[in-house]
Amino acid sequence: MAGGAIQGLGMGLFLFPHSIPSGGAGGITVLLNHWFNIGMGQALWIVNFTLLFVGIHYLGKRFAIWTVIAITMTSLSVVFFEQFSIPNRNLLYDLIFGSVFLGTGIGLLLRQGVSNGGIGVVALIISTRRKILPGRPLFLINIIIFMFTAVIVDWKLIFLALISQWISTVVVDLVCQVSFQQSYSLNWRKKP
């Protein structure tokens, strides 16, 4: 739940005010809207539902339940944080802070075998099967989707989205690598 809330903070408070896409599912949603004139909310639901169904097949029911909880928590926190406004916004600061929070939230979710929805499902399947960190497949898949979307729809915000993806996926891998065991263990002192 913390991962979903932190991800929502990055998106709702820092990235979405500048219309910076936060992932590949958003890119696919834009394409569905462009090609088939499907509403954005409905298209996003179709993308997430389809990828969630694929995830259930490869990763199991526990994955599906917690992914639905994570997606719900992210959505609620986006709605909550969109209400706040930062005076004198700076695009560069918002891009960096939003990407770090986004990556931290996604990393916490992926670390627990839970997806943030969308392309995170595919990245988790690849990282589980290949025994690699999830950041690299997440970044590569999102880049391909962003480039394809840019060619079809518009190039304007794709560069910011690519920078955001690079920062957030580096943070995802850092969060997945760091050992938090001693930081929350009651047995932090060694006995002589």
Note if the pTM is more than 0.85: no
The residue-averaged pLDDT of 151-177 equals 87
Indicate whether 75 pLDDT > 90.
Answer: no
pLDDT tens-digit map of 20-67: 777 888 778 778 878 898 876 677 778 878 888 888 888 888 888 988
Residue 23 · residue 119 · CB < 8 Å: yes
Give the count of alpha carbons within 13 A of 97, CB side only: 14
Domain boundaries, the chain: 2-81+90-177
Provide CB contacts within 8 A for 11, sequence distance 6+.
22, 74, 78, 81, 98, 102
Indicate whether 181 pLDDT > 70.
Answer: no
